[in-house]
Amino acid sequence: MITRSVIGAIFASVVLAATVQGLPAVGEVLPDKSRLTNEYTRGIVDSVPYGFTSWDSLLAVQDRLTAAADSIVAATGPVAESGYSSIKLSVADNSLTVYWSGQVPPQVEAAIDARPAGITVYVSQVTHSLIEMQQQMTSLLERADAAGIELLSVGPRPDSSGLQATVAGDVAKAQQILASSIPLTIITGTDSEPMFNRSQDTNPYWGGARYRTWKGDCSTGFAIRTSGRSAHSEPNAMLTAAHCAKNGYGDDAWLGGDSYLPNALFFGFNNHLDTAYVSAKPGYAMSPYIYRGPVGSSSYSGVAYTVGTYVGQWVCQGGAQTGEHCGAQVTMTEQSTPDGKVHVARAQIMTYDPYFKVWLPDIDEVAVGKGDSGGPVFIPAVGTSKIYAMGTVIGGSTYGGFPCPQYGTSCSSGFSWTPIKYTLEATGATIATSP
């Protein structure tokens, strides 16, 4: 079997020619996928977070918490009409904290009471609902733009006690100008770089694979059925990041390395979510699997279903450029940025300090690299080789980037993504799941 490391070397040698001549080059292809039987069984290779003996034990707790959180969110009804603010998971003590403004309605109380045995749910009263904070976020972005303040992002604090804004310039100036009716913390940071730039995929195509555009190289996310297609039909498109396309709707894409001519086109753009999908041309197909493991791996996992995104979850990123990284924890959700992006979630590689007994960002560990944009964000399912789909990568962390020559690109210790819930709602598409 041709390994990913060999294919990566082949691809590296042809990218320069593609850049100079303006056309992608043809690369070597993998064997017929119908003969592959190497489902991913190795498990997560990243260090197990402090307090757990294995990733399976951590994920078993997290699965139950995520399912309980999803049930509570489903019971809230339209967010714009409720006092819902956010939910935070604590895998360490098997608990959820539901942040709510005002009286918790009976249907939400019923969902909380129906949680699995052993899970503790805390209901914390906060002053502002999510919709109120989103309205204030819009106002802050508009005023920052008018005042020439480089506001990089703004969103709810992890405990929904107020808002947190990140600026690239003078914090004191921003504090003077950005008055807020909701408590606001302003910190300094760097811009989140788009991560466009596993080796060469073959037909039918999987998520987590490299594909090429006129703008650069990106990663595929999850196979979908576009609006109007039967649930029994084959998936016909693959989610990715909108910023990967150079020319917008109908722009060319080259999936895998077995086609000299473009074999897919960009559609379904939503610049507020930074998501789009590439739709395969006749004769090409998508498949409900993603690549697993490092860059040199040809192992795969099937997609089970989608789950929600909550502060405190441990998640994986599986883009084509740097492969799989699973040591990141969700730190922020529902963030907005000055270029119009909304519902942005962020995760960061964390390390435990046993002396101070706190979790701290590990800013030197690789979580994502240029070329991973559009790739899948997911949680491995316990007791099976499948995964739960969470969203698609749209950028790196606000801690800034660093060279990572082992991947031939630049990397960062955290990443941002668009939760898949919002992408599917916006496009009317459905996620394709594996048998």
Q: Residue 65: which residues within 8 A CB-CB, separation 6 or more?
A: 89, 91, 94, 95, 96, 119
Phi-psi region of 243 (alpha: psi -120 to 50; beta: other; left: phi over 0): alpha
Integer-rounded Cα Rg, in Å, for the chain is: 21
Give, in degrees to the nearest 5, the angle at Cα 138 between 137 and 143. 95
- Two tokens, residue 75: 């019971």
Percent of the chain with pLDDT over 70: 88
**Secondary structure of residue 323 in the 3-state scheme:** strand
Phi-psi region of 141 (alpha: psi -120 to 50; beta: other; left: phi over 0): alpha
* C-alpha atoms less than 13 angstroms from C-alpha of 267 in its C-beta half-sphere: 15
Residues β-bridged to residue 395: 416
Domain ranges of the chain: 4-48+193-431, 130-188
**Confidence (pLDDT) at 179:** 87
**Confidence (pLDDT) at 342:** 93
> Residue-wise over 140-151: b if at least 16 C-beta within 10 A, else e?
bbeebeeeebeb
**Confidence (pLDDT) at 24:** 33
Return the closest-CA partner of residue 211 out of 125, 83, 128, 319: 319
153, 398 contact by CB (below 8 A)? yes
* CA-based end-to-end distance of the chain: 25
**Confidence (pLDDT) at 4:** 30
Q: Is cis: bond before 235, omega within 30 of 0?
A: no
**Confidence (pLDDT) at 137:** 95
Q: Does domain 4-48+193-431 have CATH number 2.40.10.10?
A: yes
Q: Are strands 237-241 and 430-431 parallel, antiparallel or unpaired?
A: unpaired
295, 322 contact by CB (below 8 A)? yes
Q: What is the value of pTM for the model shown?
A: 0.83
**Confidence (pLDDT) at 32:** 60
Report how far residue 337's alpha carbon sits from residue 344's, in angstroms, rounded to the nearest whole number.
8
Q: DSSP per residue over 225-278, as a string? A: E-TT--TTSPP-EEEEEGGG-SS-TT-EEEESSS-SS--EEEEEEETTTTEEEE
Q: Is cis: bond before 262, omega within 30 of 0?
A: no
**Confidence (pLDDT) at 122:** 98
Question: Which residue, chain included where needed, has tokens 């002053």?
Answer: 127
Q: DSSP per residue over 327-366, as a string? A: EEEEEEEEEB-TTS--SEEEEEEEEEETTTTEEEE-TTS-
**Confidence (pLDDT) at 40:** 76
Residues of the chain with pLDDT under 50: 1-31, 197
Q: Residue 135: which residues within 8 A CB-CB, separation 6 or more?
A: none
